[in-house]
Amino acid sequence: MLGGLSEAVFLVVITRAAFAITDGDDSVGILASRRLSVNLTVVLALALVLFRVSMSVAANWHSAALNADVVRDLRHKLAHGFLRSTWAAQQSARSGHLQELVTTYSGSGAALLGSFSAGVVAAFSVASLLALATAVDPIGSLVAVGALGVLGFTLRPLRRKVQVHARKAANDGMGLALATNEISGLGMVVHVFDVRDQVEARVDALLDEGMRSGRRLGLVRGLVPAIYTGLAYLALVGAIGLASVWDTASLTSLGAVMLVMLRSLSYGQQLQTAYTGVASSVPAVRDVFEEIERFTDNEFVDDGDPVEVVCPLRLEHVSFHYTDGQPVLAGVSAEIHANELVGVVGPSGSGKSTLVQLLLGLRVPTEGRVLASGREIHSLRHADWARKVTFVPQSPALVHGTIAENVRFYRDGFSDADVQRALQLAGLLDEVTAFPDGLRHQVGDRGGNLSGGQQQRLCIARALVTQPELLILDEPTSALDARSEQLVRDTLNTLRQRMTVVVIAHRLSTLDECDRIMIIQDGTISAFDTPDRLRESSNFYAEAIRLSGIA
């Protein structure tokens, strides 16, 4: 406001000084009846310019700082909201969706705030200029102000179109980002199946659609200030015409008002541009806040009881379904004893993965209970449960860093000796020791500096470093050669003396050492017994043994 007022006064002063010099006067009428010499008027004009510049610098500094804070705050809320939400909420998001929100969409928050800040500055500047113009020439200025207000209202339908096209452009951008993220993880498959032309066609189609929506948005955004400027100039001409007809101003005053009004039109154009910028950013920012709200509504609250002993681990009539009326598990009951090595087998889609998620406490049964030493695991403190119950996925999940960093996996308190012990149990220590940099050996992006078997055993070491009470493995030998598989099987046989081990198996050779094997079919446990008894009592197990070639 102060900057706008100083600019308005400067325009009046410099206009009247120009007229005074032209007329040969040695003094200049500033405002009302106050007069200054030409020299003092020039000094005053210089001071006003410097003050205006300082106000602009201050406004820009605050705007830049605020924009950076907003981007950081949005990214913080998105990342923390995701990490602290439930497993189910995280799983419901498409791959790459969070990345696009954190990188591109959160930047729309800065764009929105930048446009809003520019609009605030422009609005106060316009108000200051018009206020001073009205004081100099009330009739012409008031007519121009009214005309500008009517223009702003007239352009509302066009501004609404900006929001519509901005929503379409945001959706197209998200679609392209998700597709790109998906394709980036399919490089090998694309080459193997030789579908590069088809993938290129899909990408081109998404790019073309994004180009069209972006072009429409840009066109509509550009029309708003252009139309506004043209109509505003017409309004200004009308205002000057009225002032001349009514003879309400002297030539000096009319010249000053002309200059002030022209400058106010420039700020008015900035105001319209800022409005369209806000309208363009709103759809993306709304998506960010909706996602933050979804994460917040599904926040995982870890306020359970301390975990004492995990086993015996008992399933009591456990059912689970992702969609109503379509159960994945139905009425499952079983008990797993301490220091027992249990295998879990069954056809694809039978519910094995869901059972693992229930045992890990990632999901809550739709019906029934999962009990650890008689207490529902849902009522236990998850931080304690995560230290006592751990998991090795079928596909290795490694972070870019050293072997030691991957074993520790963001967890403090594990010494190099702890890491080496875990690597020894996983059958990997000798190979790690053979690396020139040992524990500091870089695994590379997605484990690219390690073989598939080494990646899998590194994940096993990560699980063992906490010395858990319950270890759950999803086919730990699927990526291993015969020697590495035997090492892991020996490890599992050794671990049964220290902890309870549950192995989800697809290769039945993994189950040779199991005390009991659970067979899941169609979401229920069809059998749960020793391997020898299952050969006699379970048709599924006997047939699986025969097909695998195991005697």
Task: Confirm if 158 and 37 have CB atoms less than 8 A apart.
Answer: no
Instruction: Give the residue among 299, 366, 308, 314 at the shortest CA–CA distance from 523.
Output: 366
Q: Which residues pair with 372 in a beta bridge?
A: 313, 375
482: Cβ contacts below 8 Å, ≥ 6 apart = none
CA separation for the pair 371, 390 (Å, rounded): 16
Res 218: pLDDT: 74
In the chain the domains, ranked by start, together with CATH numbers, are: 2-297 (1.20.1560.10), 313-548 (3.40.50.300)
Res 159: pLDDT: 67
Res 194: pLDDT: 60
286: Cβ contacts below 8 Å, ≥ 6 apart = none
Q: Which residues pair with 369 in a beta bridge?
A: 316
pTM of the model: 0.65
- Per the rule left: phi > 0, alpha: psi between -120 and 50, beta: everything else, 309 is beta
CA separation for the pair 267, 258 (Å, rounded): 14
* C-alpha triplet 211, 217, 223: angle, nearest 5°: 135
Q: Which residues pair with 305 in a beta bridge?
A: 380
Neighbours of 286 (CB within 10 A): 15
Res 325: pLDDT: 65
Eight-state DSSP code of residue 299 = B
Instruction: Give the residue among 238, 228, 213 at the shortest CA–CA distance from 162.
Output: 213
* CA atoms in the 13 A half-sphere facing the CB of 287: 22
Give the sign of the dihedral formed by CA 534, CA 535, CA 540, CA 546: positive
Res 78: pLDDT: 83
Place of tokens 């497993």: 87
Res 140: pLDDT: 56
Dihedral pair phi/psi, residue 496, rounded to 5°: -60, -20
Counting every residue written for the chain, the total comes to: 551
Going along 310-458, which residue ranges are E strands? Answer: 313-323, 326-336, 341-345, 367-372, 375-376, 389-392
Instruction: Give the residue among 187, 517, 166 at the shortest CA–CA distance from 336.
Output: 517
pLDDT in tens, 441-481: 888 776 677 877 788 888 888 888 888 889 988 877 665 66
> pLDDT digit of tens for each residue in the chain (551 aa)?
888 788 878 877 777 777 777 777 777 766 656 778 878 888 888 898 899 889 888 888 888 888 888 888 888 888 888 888 887 787 776 666 777 777 777 778 888 888 888 888 888 887 777 777 677 666 655 665 666 667 667 767 776 777 777 777 777 777 776 676 666 655 555 655 566 677 778 778 877 887 888 788 777 767 766 676 666 666 666 655 655 555 544 555 555 566 666 676 677 777 777 877 787 788 888 888 888 888 888 888 778 888 888 888 899 999 988 876 678 888 889 999 988 889 888 877 788 888 888 888 888 888 999 998 888 888 888 888 888 888 888 777 788 888 898 888 888 888 889 999 888 888 788 888 998 888 888 887 766 778 777 888 888 888 888 888 899 888 776 656 677 677 777 777 777 777 888 988 766 666 767 889 898 888 888 888 888 888 888 888 777 777 665 54
pLDDT in tens, 9-39: 887 777 777 777 777 777 776 665 677 887 8
Q: Cα torsion at 52, 58, 63, 66 (round to 10°)?
A: -160
Res 149: pLDDT: 65
Res 210: pLDDT: 76
CA separation for the pair 372, 366 (Å, rounded): 18
Dihedral pair phi/psi, residue 364, rounded to 5°: -110, 135
CA separation for the pair 113, 26 (Å, rounded): 48
Instruction: Give the residue among 49, 2, 6, 18 at the shortest CA–CA distance from 256.
Output: 18
pLDDT in tens, 347-363: 777 888 888 888 888 88
Task: Confirm if 137 and 175 have CB atoms less than 8 A apart.
Answer: no
Helix (H, G, I), strand (E, B) or coil at 23: helix
